Chains A and B, each alone.
Chain A
Amino acid sequence: MLSFTKIKVLSIYLILILTIFFASLNLKNNNLIDKKVNLGLDLQGGSYILLEIDTKPLVNQKLQSKIIPIKKLLSKNEINFKDFTISLDKIAFAINKNDQKKFKNLFFKKQENTINNFISEYNKFELDLEFIENKAFIQFSSFGLVSLNNTALKQSIEIIRRRIDDVGTKEPTILQRGDRRIVVELPGIDNPERIKELLGKTAQLTFRLVTKEDGFGSEKLILSENDEELMVSKRVVISGDNLADAQPQYDSQSNQPLVRFNLDRIGAQKFGRVTTDNVGRRLAIVLDNSVISAPNIREAITAGTGTISGGFSFQEATDLALLLRSGALPAPINIVEERTVGPDLGKDSIDAGIFSLMVGFILIIIFMFVKYRIFGLVSNISLIANLFMLIGILTILEATLTLPGIAGIILTVGMAVDSNVLIYERIREELKTEKSIIHAFDIGYNKAKITVIDANVTTLIAAAILFIFGSGPVKGFAVTLGIGIITTLFSAYFIARHLTSVIVLNDKKGKYFKL
């Protein structure tokens, strides 16, 4: 166990130097190799936001859109039906028993089926049909729901990305988690509140006429400027989909902030037609069920451009323009988890973490030297090498260092000593019975090997499970703990063992072997 071939020694120290080189990359900016340990949000400050999409309204909306096509399909094929109703997630109607089979065949037609889409990915239909007595029930199949969720989630991620990019935060991370959640990580932002407001808004924009009729085709909405109640038609003139651009501006006359928008070709045509026909009426501009403004139509607007003024501040106008540009979310989104750390706390945490790391490290080094003298020194050298290698590997992997991660490093330092202690204690025992010093060291290393591996595998298991189940900072801990075990084994069995062998082989008089 004490003999090393030259090539072995060379590769051991080459690996060590390589990892030290990578560790040193963290000290200054290097353009050649751009690798660094990333700081977690808890250390550099920033926000972690977990969003959950609420697809219930979307399911209902999609079902609503099926009503007319289904009715058309029924009439076209001369199938009688009555009592047509729709609840939150179900369409129901009465149908004669002898017509049921016919309807079923039409409903599950694979080609050119515009009502019930066939999802080829799952080889299943989007909607389920069920007959109970003379009633038919239509609802989304589980596959339809998954597909609906997925599409909505993908769209939402795209829109959220646009919104965040527009605000101009550095290096945001936007990821899908599971089938209804989105993780947003925003390092180093100083005002998460603004972003949260931007993320949470559905931003469904519609232009609708204000009416006097109270009835099925209209609804009561509140004008947010002055809490005025308005009767607004449910018929949408144009929606946010027709916007080509939106920018904040100051009104040239009143100097009030407003949002100027440009419509696409279809939107401009529609807008022109409606404004021509309705001069003198009020047009409500509705955002997420509240009216931001309801100006009078003074003249036909055919140029496809207009302004929205709602007594906003310039910041509000900027944000509204941003929301309109990025488009509406397909479904409402809620923040279900948020963790924000201010930059000054992050800085304090790094300082405290690194300081306690240094202190713990020095205490252990002193302890080992006092206890094992020259072999303590060997163990200390391997401990320092261990630390460099750990940081070097974290750099190579561009891993994220978190506050618990720093704790993991300190813990690694504390436990790394264990391998050397196990070995030295073993050698000490062997020296009692064994006459040859070299032989005692040899046996000691050999016998301790099994124990060292057993002991480290158990910690590695804990680290792996933490990595799989942990989130954010805890994952950072698992990473440093896991890598720490590997570097510990390397430094104990290669570096420390080599240094020990150099000492033992050169110590003919047995000056140092008193452990």
Chain B
Amino acid sequence: MTVTLVFDGEAHVVEGEVRGDAVLLTPAALHEATGWELQPQGLCRGDVCVPTHALDGVAVDDLVDVAAFGAALRRPVALEPAASIAVLAESSDDLATTIAEGVAPAFTLPDLDGNAVALADFAGKKKLLLAWSSW
């Protein structure tokens, strides 16, 4: 079975299953979609680990519970088991840290024709970002 995990603004269709109200992933799928890995010392990505004692309910049999994974990272999670989809937004603590640093976060977005454009394409220039909409 596959489930859809939306993480860091990207949708990943990965191996997992729905049990009741829970959306579960295989550890390999979690790693593929998020870079986070269950290791003996805890939930880790690169040098950063959330220690095992703070991982309430993350491991369910040999799978990973997405809601508990989000809670361990203090990221809000929205789930729809009926459509096998889970969405993680950013943690407000992480966003507060980034905002306090005062540096423009890197991003890449499609233009109106679908071509990828990155902030880094305009390195060394003054930039004015304008958020707009048709509404």
Interaction A to B: no
A residues with CB within 8 A of B? none
Which residues of B pack against A, CB within 8 Å? none
